[in-house]
Amino acid sequence: MSTPPQSQQRRVELNIAPRDSDDDGADEPLVAGTMGPTGRPRRHIPEPSLLDRHGPARILAICNQKGGVGKTTSTINLGAALTEYGRRVLLVDFDPQGALSVGLGIPPHDLERTIYNVLIEGSVGVRDVVMRTCVDDLDLLPSNIDLSAAEVQLVSEVGREHSLMRTLRPVLDDYDFILVDCQPSLGLLTVNALTAADGVLIPLECEYFSLRGVALLIDTIDKVRDRLNPKLGITGILATMFDPRTLHSREVMARVVEAFGDTVFDTAINRTVRFPETTVAGEPITTWAPRSAGAKAYRQLAREVIAR
């Protein structure tokens, strides 16, 4: 008898079945000019081109010092959606909590070597630590609580802000995108992510207090661009946990669009229990519930990211 694939085995163990109950029908293309969730007409997004070779990678830092806004969820699901367009993707868990690793079904506390060892020990190479995930062309550089020590240990290093860039340089040509899941702080690890990045993707929860602190984040991005990384730009602002049924959510969205204009992606991610479920399942929504509205939204976001 053949053994079921790993993801199915996990479903059996967890005794939860993937459901596509929020399937919103056919995978219809979103038509440019029709009204989108941001309250603006959708812009035209070209069909992603096919690649005949891979690399060098565009590095995106997924960053917001506010906790629980969907950074890790967006890193996993945007990464998985990008692979569906033929892109090779490396996800970097740059949070000592290890939530990105957990979300991909990898218990971080059992790992002997993580990104911490590559950052701190010259003898460990990045390729020694990169892991395959349950999704083809989606690799992971895992982390665990050890990484919290790096923040202290790096302080006395020469070129401490460039440590992540040095870590990633050997694999830049292996990938089309490297997504760095930042921790909820603007400390040295996040500054390292911004120093390595070509762009920042800022997930913003559609809640009243979500705009508080964004000015500080943008100020930090400006400083890193001035002092450390002139190529750094804001790739886009992603509205998350959007509930189109509530006036509150729509009002917050209107304020976000008023404040940030075209930087706001046309795609918004709706609030749905489906995302916490995928964390338990240990796989992206694009494979867990491929026809769900959440999976479709992250595919649409992937198209926008490729086009920007």
Ligand X SMILES: Nc1ncnc2c1ncn2[C@@H]1O[C@H](COP(=O)(O)OP(=O)(O)OP(=O)(O)O)[C@@H](O)[C@H]1O
Binding residues for Mg ion (CB under 5 A): 71-72, 99
* Interacting span for ligand X (CB under 6 A) from 144-152, 171-179, 221-229, 265-273: 265-273
Identity of the residue, 57 or 285, whose beta carbon is nearer to ligand X in the bound complex = 285
Residues whose CB falls within 8 Å of the CB of residue 231, separated by 6 or more in sequence, listed in order = 198
Q: Which is nearer to ligand X, 90 or 241 (CB)?
A: 241
The least distance separating ligand X from the CB of residue 279, rounded to whole angstroms, comes to 5
For the CB of residue 117, give the shortest distance to ligand X in the complex, in Å.
22
Residues 81-120 as x/- pattern, contact with ligand X by CB under 6 A: --------------x---x---------------------
β 131-132/58-62 pair status: unpaired
208 burial class (0-12, 13-18, 19+ CB within 10 angstroms)?
exposed
Question: What binding mask, one character per residue, do residues 116-155 give for ligand X by CB under 6 A, x or -?
Answer: ----------------------------------------
Task: Return d(Cα 263, Cα 165) in angstroms, integer.
Answer: 25
Contacts of 38 (CB under 8 A, 6+ apart): 239, 253, 257, 264, 265, 266, 268
Report d(CA 288, CA 223) in Å as an integer. 39
**Shortest reach from residue 156's CB to ligand X, in Å:** 27
Between 22 and 174, whose beta carbon lies closer to ligand X?
Answer: 22
Eight-state DSSP code of residue 35: B
196, 275, 183, 179: which is closest to 232 by C-alpha?
A: 196
DSSP string, 106-155: --GGG-S--HHHHHH-TTS-GGGT-EE-SSTTEEEE---TTHHHHHHHGG
CA-to-CA distance for 144 and 94, rounded, in angstroms? 9
CB closer to Mg ion, 4 vs 187: 187
Using CA atoms, how far residue 143 sits from 148, 167, 180, 258, in Å, is 10, 14, 11, 37
**In the complex, minimum distance from the CB of residue 164 to ligand X, in angstroms, rounded to a whole number:** 17
Examine residue 241 and tell whether it contacts ligand X (CB under 6 A): yes
Residue 304: CB minimum distance to ligand X, A: 17
Q: Which of 60, 61, 69, 302 binds ligand X (CB under 6 A)?
A: 69
Nearest distance, CB of residue 89 and ligand X, angstroms: 17
Answer for which of 11, 271, 299, 303 binds ligand X (CB under 6 A) is: 271
Q: How far is CA 281 from each of CA 8, 33, 54, 104, 109, rounded to the nearest angstrom? A: 10, 37, 30, 8, 18
Partner touching 70 among ligand X, Mg ion, none, CB below 5 to 8 Å by kind:
ligand X
Chain residue whose CB lies nearest Mg ion: 72
CB of 243 to ligand X, least distance (A): 9
User: Which residues form the interface with ligand X (CB under 6 A)?
Assistant: 67-73, 95, 99, 184, 240-241, 269, 271-272, 275-276, 279
